[in-house]
Structure 1
């Protein structure tokens, strides 16, 4: 993430969750087109609108009220992830693990679901319409390099269905902070000052990705 997002995380003690409309990929939270086409064909054969109605409900309601926080479960750093999500020399990558991620939600009364993203293509896929979380943890395999794991929460009736800050236990969540590979020594000192100011205990280390494009 960019530094200002990290600073906002520390200040709010909350993770930012966004709905599908704001995640970039136009297929987010949608039934992949090649699957939807077969579903509509089934409707026509059976003389009903069951699949069409399901898709309409997904588009009109679920894509708005299902909010997502994205993580990568790769064991090693990724050049592509640094390049895409931390575009300057003051980028941050937070390292945690699944157990700590789960436990870090102990400060909120919201229900947060966590699951791996399933990457599919036209020739190799599994998709269940009986589980409406599937559109939110399924992506086309163009994005496989992200090795994504997602936290998903659902907005309540009285909440704006666009984005939400969800309270998090930072001391539990943050195991290490990796800083941009080409950042200056002053940037590391700044992170150390923030660590002290917010009374957190995490290891600070430089990214191992060495590339002048970052």
Structure 2
């Protein structure tokens, strides 16, 4: 299910390219168990995750003056929202390689919005939602709260470089106690269109990734990074 609103502009083209940058251990975990890890929203580095901008908070505070449970609902809900983050970009991102991989090792999964939606169809327990993050000034701009997912689809302008698409799940009704996150079923073959190996990785690492993918029974296209140059000066 796509989340759409006049302030949340998810691309309409299902062939829109999205990326996920991750280290080898997380990639192997994904292929081995065929499950996508989703992080608990209040575990992200950004402490504003799932909160409101100042104008919105003031409105909610007034509404909750005679009903404190109204505000408590939003505070506690962060523990029950899990998120898988993807990067919207037609091309590879040097910044994403730098942020999400280390020691010149790691991979990037290339997918599309359509592929993500199809890949999530195998999950029967948890309902999935896909939305684009909107980047705003939290001191001045308003975050609507008629949709309970909206606090998780807005971030401060400082993070605009992320160009984030999110898969979001609310597990409140399942009465779970989640530690760091939750794994959901996905169709790996549908989700992954191509794999790109870190542009600065050595040949032994590239060969390791190719062999791992083969031994785990997948036949994804594995591409050389477009940021890896053959030009010698």
TM (norm. structure 2) is 0.80
State the 1:25 CA deviation: 0.6
1:75 pairs with 2:102: no
Alignment of 1:1-214 (within 5 A): 1-40=22-61, 43=62, 48-49=65-66, 53-60=69-76, 62-109=77-124, 110-122=126-138, 125-155=141-171, 156-162=173-179, 163-209=181-227
Write the deviation string for residues 25-74 of structure 1: whole angstroms up to 9, x where unpaired. Answer: 1000111235313543xx2xx89445x643321112x1011111100111
Match of 2:17 in 1: none
Q: Does structure 1 retain, via aligned residues, the 8 Å contact 2:53–2:141?
A: no
List gaps (5 residues or longer) in structure 1: none
Q: Give 1 or 2: higher helix fraction.
A: 1
State the 1:137 CA deviation: 0.8
State the 1:203 CA deviation: 1.4
Determine the C-alpha separation between the residues in 1 that align with 2:26 and 2:64.
Answer: 50
State the 1:105 CA deviation: 1.3
Q: Does structure 2 retain, via aligned residues, the 8 Å contact 1:2–1:88?
A: no
Determine the C-alpha separation between the residues in 1 that align with 2:65 and 2:59.
Answer: 14
Over aligned residues, Cα RMSD in angstroms?
A: 2.1
Secondary structure of the 2:168 match is strand
TM (norm. structure 1) is 0.87
Change (3 A) 1:8 1:47: closer
List gaps (5 residues or longer) in structure 2: 1-21
